[in-house]
Structure 1
Amino acid sequence: MPWTDQITFDERGLVPVVAQDARTGEVLMLAWANAEALQLTRSTGRAHYWSRSRKSLWAKGETSGHVQEVEDVRMDCDGDAVLYRVRQTGPACHTGERSCFHRGIDGEAAGEAADARHMLDRLDEIIATREQERPEGSYTTYLFTAGIDKVLKKVGEEATETVIAAKNGDNAELRSESADLLFHLMVLWRTRGLDAADVWGELERRFGQAPRPGSTAARASRSADGT
């Protein structure tokens, strides 16, 4: 049985599709799809939808270049809604906004909403912008200009200060030093050309796996087993 037979389409043969950033979890847009659009999405790896106004199939980014590479297709418990987990190129919204859901409700008024992405994703974007544009007066610009040795020195200093804060038992100090350490680590990754998403991906890959042979966790596990 085709998997689309498990979808509950409406009287027009359509189902709502939510597109979500696979890396950040941010909701990007809502559109509609019929069975053919869903099948094309699965077979091509790119998001396809059905245009209710034009009454035709369309591939996201076919004219703008803002394509959605689909990592995963899911359906809800009732089968009457579909989720595309995507890697978005450029903005998802036709207005040029990153997400179509860029407006928030405050009382009776609608206005610009706060950035829904995790702080680490926003910070990574700022660091990348600083590297490219090098604005004067920016501390991040100073680090990139000073070079990797300076960045490494700062990472070492902040790591030591984080350890000291933890030993001192002061959580406010530990919070502050941990934030400094994480920031300088992210600058180091950018300096070395390592995408933060690759680090998150490595953590994801390890999640739920048995400890690697020779690791501290593996040795601890053997000790607990009496081996």
Structure 2
Amino acid sequence: MRDAMPALDWDKGGGLLPAIVQDARTRQVLMLGWMTPESLAATQESGLVTFFSRSRQRLWVKGESSGHHLKLVAIEADCDADTLLVTAEPQGPTCHLGRDSCFAGATGSALAHLDRVIEGRAASMPEGSYTTRLLAGGIRRIAQKVGEEGVETALAAVVEDDTALLGEAADLAYHLLVLLRARGLGLADLDQVLRARNA
């Protein structure tokens, strides 16, 4: 990862670069931190996002006290090589206020969030969960539900208003994500196929 990065302009910020952190799955902007060459190296070596604290004048691993680490996925420099985009998998709320993001209005993909919830349900199979019942019913039952929701979505497109159509489309999307998860797949796999088609 370090070899692929261009020469960074550390001088412009006095040895610091702003690092924007984005959720690798939902694309939600999580926070802004500051990196030095040392914190960047520590991030790449440990796999945990590490910043330079300007107030404490030291390196700090995000989540070192809360346990809500940011697991590194990728780091990319912007076109001027003076800002970093860090994509990560948050291991709990990023903000000290208990929110997913330090920016209250920053939202990510609702579909990606739903996919993460379904993944969690598939892993824990909690009692009383509709997702648990679907997964326990097996692939055939889930596929049947996807077919039913597809027909209901098509009918809503022809004879219902926009609100009904969107409601049916949301039901279809949910059941499709459950079907993918039952096969060991998820939204990221679908996203990869779509990106390849648009290349």
Aligning the two structures, in what range does the TM-score lie when normalised by the shorter sequence? 0.7 to 0.9
Q: Which residue of 1 aligns with 2:55?
A: 53
Alignment pair present for 1:5 and 2:5: no
Q: Which residue of 1 aligns with 2:149?
A: 158
Q: Give structure 2 stretches of 5+ with no counterpart.
A: 1-5
Checking the alignment, whether the CA contact within 8 Å between 1:17 and 1:84 is kept in structure 2 is: yes
Q: Which has the larger radius of gyration?
A: 1
Residues 96 and 170 of structure 1: is their aligned pair in 2 closer, same or farther, counting only changes over 3 Å?
closer
Q: Give structure 1 stretches of 5+ with no counterpart.
A: 105-114, 209-227
Residues 67 and 122 of structure 1: is their aligned pair in 2 closer, same or farther, counting only changes over 3 Å?
closer
Shift of 1:29: 1.6
Q: Which residue of 2 aligns with 1:118?
A: 109
Q: Which residue of 1 aligns with 2:77?
A: 74
Checking the alignment, whether the CA contact within 8 Å between 1:71 and 1:87 is kept in structure 2 is: no
Residues 80-99 of structure 1 aligned to structure 2 (within 5 Å): 81-94=83-96, 96-99=98-101
Match of 2:153, SS state, is helix
Which piece of structure 1 moves more, 31-40 or 178-187?
A: 31-40
Match of 2:34, SS state, is strand
Checking the alignment, whether the CA contact within 8 Å between 2:69 and 2:92 is kept in structure 1 is: yes
Residues 194 and 165 of structure 1: is their aligned pair in 2 closer, same or farther, counting only changes over 3 Å?
same
For 1:152-201, what per-residue CA distance to the aligned partner results, in whole angstroms no more than 9, with x for missing partners?
A: 111122223334445x3656354343222212111112222212222222
Alignment pair present for 1:134 and 2:137: no
Larger RCO: Structure 1 or Structure 2 (Cα < 8 Å, ≥ 6 residues apart)?
2
Shift of 1:54: 3.1
Count residues in correspondence: 191
Q: Which residue of 1 aligns with 2:192?
A: 201
Letter in 1 for 2:134: L
Residues 57 and 162 of structure 1: is their aligned pair in 2 closer, same or farther, counting only changes over 3 Å?
same
Q: Percent identity?
A: 41
Runs of 4+ in 1 over 4 A off after TM superposition: 39-46
Give the distance between the partners of 2:165 and 2:197, measured in 1 at CA: 26
Checking the alignment, whether the CA contact within 8 Å between 2:153 and 2:168 is kept in structure 1 is: yes
Shift of 1:94: 4.6
Letter in 2 for 1:85: T
User: Normalization by structure 2: what TM-score?
Assistant: 0.74
User: Normalization by structure 1: what TM-score?
Assistant: 0.66
169, 178, 182: which one aligns with 1:187: 178
For 1:87-146, what per-residue CA distance to the aligned partner results, in whole angstroms no more than 9, with x for missing partners?
A: 334433355543233x46xxxxxxxxxx8222212322333344425342x433432333
State the Cα RMSD in Å: 3.2
Give the distance between the partners of 2:121 and 2:35, measured in 1 at CA: 39
Give the distance between the partners of 1:76 and 1:165, measured in 2 at CA: 45
